[in-house]
Structure 1
Amino acid sequence: MGPSLSTPETSLLSTLSTPLKIGPLTLRNKFMMSSLTRDRCYPTNVPTELMVEYYRQRAKGGVGLIVSEGMLIERQGTEWPHAPGIWSDEHIHAWKKITEAVHQEGAHMYAQLWHVGRVRHSDAPEQIASGEPVYAPSPIAAKFGKFRFLPGEPPCSTPLEIQDPMNFVDLYRQAAINAKKAGFDGVEINASNGYLIHTFLDHTSNHRTDEYGGSIRNRSRFGLEVLEVVSEVFGANRVGVKLSPCSGRNDMGMSLKDTLDTYTYFITEADKLELAYMVLIRHIPLLSAIIDGKERGTPHDVISSYKHLFKNSLFFLNGDYSPIEAADVIASGRAHGVFFGRPFISNPDLPKRVEKHIPLNMNVDMLTLYGPKDGIIVDVEALSKGYTDYSEAVVAEEGDDD
């Protein structure tokens, strides 16, 4: 039997079990699964049957909305060697199996469209296969971690400057078209954590002197143009965007004033599009980074800083929220919803566990988070470890109820 919860906690947690309307969709509850890179597209960048099972498990477990792991809008040599794409008919057909499985279990699913920008390496197999160099807003390399699946564990390559940003806007447009063909209910644009759109927003990574650099308006232009073109494909009420104003991940972070000014402008302009939602990642240690002895990132309260700007779009939060913490922030009116990330890794039936007061399994094996260690596949069966093998524990505890 799970531990008994006090009446106030039980009442508060029930907030998560009530429906939520996002644009034209009505979710069966407020349990939303955030994008989680899991790196299981072995041996290529095309989703597999194992991934169908992974998403089916979580839909069957009662989630209201799933946002897919980041889907690369073109072939890129990322820090994860087996991340999925959405640029070809083969990808469309593979993702369609996943969306159909999710819909059959009563959940909805958004596709997260992702371009990693400068967080790439020219020697990564997928980058070589693309035949393209590494591009970013400006020729400034990111100072962070290493590509552990490459000899010598090299850092990011120094990128070339993007000559015509509209070429990349068009990539997002086509990716949205492909996601719609694959049966997704909407798209979420990844504008966070040091990837392409984020690097246009931040003046430490954007030193351009054209209409895409310099002023806040210019630095916001690329991200807003992306939101506009994908809204033309799906309708703005089926489009979300993920932002991380606090994050220092992948060598990001401006002064507090610059950060507040930049995101106040971007959010205000994005809200005018009447998007389905914007999700902001709060400050958490996981996304902090110590580079050259200094912390990158800009810690501040995203609720008090930005919630008042939302007039037409839903305001969602993300960032290591527990169920009780999420329920409290929703019930108090500080946010319309909260995305859960890592709890869904080891708890495919997270909503059922919370509703039945069954303790959560938080024993995530970090060595299997992104597939076999260092991306080296020695046994295909190992791909399911830490991925789809949590279901047996769930089945064993389904009868546990207060």
Structure 2
Amino acid sequence: MSHLLQPIILGDSLELRNRIVMGSMTRNRNIDENKPTEASVTHYSVRARDGVGLIVAEGTFVYLNGAEWQYAPLMFDESHAQAWKKVTDAVHQEGGKIFFQPWHPGRIQNENMPMLKESGYPVLAPSRIPAAGGKFRVLEGAPGHTHAITEIEDPKEIVAQFATSVRLAKQAGFDGIELLCQGGYLLHSFLSSRSNNRTDAYGGSVENRCRFVLEVVDAIIEVWGPRTVGIKICPTDDYNDSTVSYSELSETYSYLIRQCVARDLAFINLSRRGSVVGHVHDEFNNPKPVGMELPPGYEPLNEFGPLVKHPESRTMLMVNHEYTVEEAEALVKEGKVDLVTFARPFISNPDMITRIRKGIPLAVNNRGAAVHYGPYQDVNENYNDWPYAA
């Protein structure tokens, strides 16, 4: 895997040891008032020690609006920054680099989840359009996403929350930002006519639906500069009731990508979720509505990759979602992408880079779905107890 393991400069000067990125994964382990613990320090530093090129930390809520997982992390005051600094310091001591991923879940919540119930903070979204599906297993009866949505009156107030969060991330010692803009969450829901029926400057046309996302991007750039900032998108996403027609996704993301490249972002992380999982069904295996099918054999990289990788662009292209190591090597070798994200393989492979370098097969998760979000008896269970290759 000689090409995948080559070093690369991200942005203007960030030296990465290779082209492999450990993707963000909410693991529900922030049991100390939604702050990372020593278990998190161990988890991230072990993978940095093994030599991964870049780590993207788990999606972190920018305010008291995180309710999809009970123990996902927060970053909106000094105490959160201090807790995260223990993680970033440990990663840096192992020669690693780590990016912060700010996140706002938007309508993908339930107001009876502990964080929202205790804070009294409303479920905010671009429009009062509930998301279908969802299952909050920690609540009695495992209810779905809420119908009690408050339409955001002034999106600039949420932009300010993102700005505060990324300032704290800089204070916490992160090396850069990957903005989460997929999954049916708040930024993604502004982009989609399925969840955004506003009639003001933030709804309707492609330019208006992209306005909020680009205002958040600009606020982050003001703090960090563009060359340490990336954005994670998924045009074909079918998660959390986010499916749209091919014509809409094509028009929306062509515009958004061009705008991000024009801002000289360090990278765009392009996910293919929804296109390879099965383009005629959503994530709950329900048929997608008529008119929302993708062209046969559709691959987002083929359509959107050239909008990022061209002679006038300094923005790098990262891809993710269920790529094999062999696929990743081929794409880097052919010059189609610069970086490849792996996520779940890093759960059961704390020595994933060593395995790839030595040609040792990756370990598979043989412990079931509980490794992702729990339940667990000890915070290190299924988190810091995976074996290394012999």
Q: 2-side partners of 1:286 and 1:32: how far apart? A: 25
Q: 1-side partners of 2:282 and 2:381: how far apart? A: 28
- How does 1:9-48 map onto structure 2 within 5 Å? 13-23=1-11, 24-48=13-37
Match of 1:318 in 2: 320
TM-score (norm. length: structure 2): 0.93
Q: SS of the residue aligned with 1:306?
A: helix
Gap change, CA 1:367 and 1:162, over 3 Å in 2: same
Q: 2-side partners of 1:127 and 1:364: how far apart? A: 34
Match of 2:369 in 1: 367
Gap change, CA 1:343 and 1:245, over 3 Å in 2: same
- How does 1:33-182 map onto structure 2 within 5 Å? 33-158=22-147, 159-182=149-172
Q: CA deviation at 1:206?
A: 0.3
Q: 1-side partners of 2:49 and 2:293: how far apart? A: 38
Give the unaligned 5+ runs of structure 2: none
Q: 2-side partners of 1:138 and 1:116: how far apart? A: 14
Match of 1:222 in 2: 212
Answer whether contact 1:77 1:122 (CA < 8 A) is retained. Answer: no
Q: 2-side partners of 1:292 and 1:19: how far apart? A: 40
Q: SS of the residue aligned with 2:166?
A: helix
Gap change, CA 1:286 and 1:70, over 3 Å in 2: farther
What percentage of aligned pairs have identical amino acids?
39
Q: CA deviation at 1:284?
A: 3.1
Q: SS of the residue aligned with 2:347?
A: helix
Q: Deviations over 1:221-274 (max 9, x none)?
A: 000111111011111000010001111100012111111001000111111100
Match of 1:385 in 2: 381
- How does 1:179-258 map onto structure 2 within 5 Å? 179-258=169-248
Q: SS of the residue aligned with 1:295?
A: coil
Answer whether contact 1:316 1:339 (CA < 8 A) is retained. Answer: yes
Q: 1-side partners of 2:32 and 2:367: how far apart? A: 22
Gap change, CA 1:140 and 1:89, over 3 Å in 2: same
Corresponding letter in the other structure for 1:289: D
Match of 2:303 in 1: 305
Q: Return the match for 2:282 from 286, 289, 292.
A: 289
Corresponding letter in the other structure for 1:169: V
Gap change, CA 1:181 and 1:43, over 3 Å in 2: closer
- Structure with the largest fraction of helix: 1
Corresponding letter in the other structure for 1:32: V
Q: 1-side partners of 2:136 and 2:348: how far apart? A: 26
Q: SS of the residue aligned with 1:187?
A: strand
Q: CA deviation at 1:197?
A: 0.5
Corresponding letter in the other structure for 1:257: S
Q: SS of the residue aligned with 1:263?
A: helix
Answer whether contact 2:98 2:174 (CA < 8 A) is retained. Answer: yes
Q: 2-side partners of 1:298 and 1:66: how far apart? A: 34
Gap change, CA 1:316 and 1:108, over 3 Å in 2: same
Q: CA deviation at 1:293?
A: 4.0
Q: Deviations over 1:346-372 (max 9, x none)?
A: 111111111011111012533323343
Match of 1:348 in 2: 350
Corresponding letter in the other structure for 1:249: Y
Answer whether contact 1:96 1:183 (CA < 8 A) is retained. Answer: yes
Q: 2-side partners of 1:369 and 1:280: how far apart? A: 25
Gap change, CA 1:125 and 1:369, over 3 Å in 2: same
Indicate the RMSD between aligned Cα atoms, in angstroms. Answer: 1.7
Q: 1-side partners of 2:119 and 2:178: how far apart? A: 24
Q: CA deviation at 1:312?
A: 2.9
Q: CA deviation at 1:43?
A: 4.5
Q: SS of the residue aligned with 2:2?
A: helix
Answer whether contact 1:77 1:128 (CA < 8 A) is retained. Answer: no
Answer whether contact 1:259 1:298 (CA < 8 A) is retained. Answer: no
Gap change, CA 1:230 and 1:290, over 3 Å in 2: closer
Gap change, CA 1:90 and 1:371, over 3 Å in 2: same
Answer whether contact 1:345 1:387 (CA < 8 A) is retained. Answer: yes
Q: 1-side partners of 2:47 and 2:236: how far apart? A: 29
Size of the aligned set, in residue pairs, is 376
Q: 2-side partners of 1:95 and 1:116: how far apart? A: 20
Q: CA deviation at 1:286?
A: 8.4
Corresponding letter in the other structure for 2:332: I
Answer whether contact 1:245 1:298 (CA < 8 A) is retained. Answer: no
Answer whether contact 2:239 2:283 (CA < 8 A) is retained. Answer: no
Corresponding letter in the other structure for 1:137: P
Corresponding letter in the other structure for 1:348: P
Q: CA deviation at 1:77?
A: 4.2
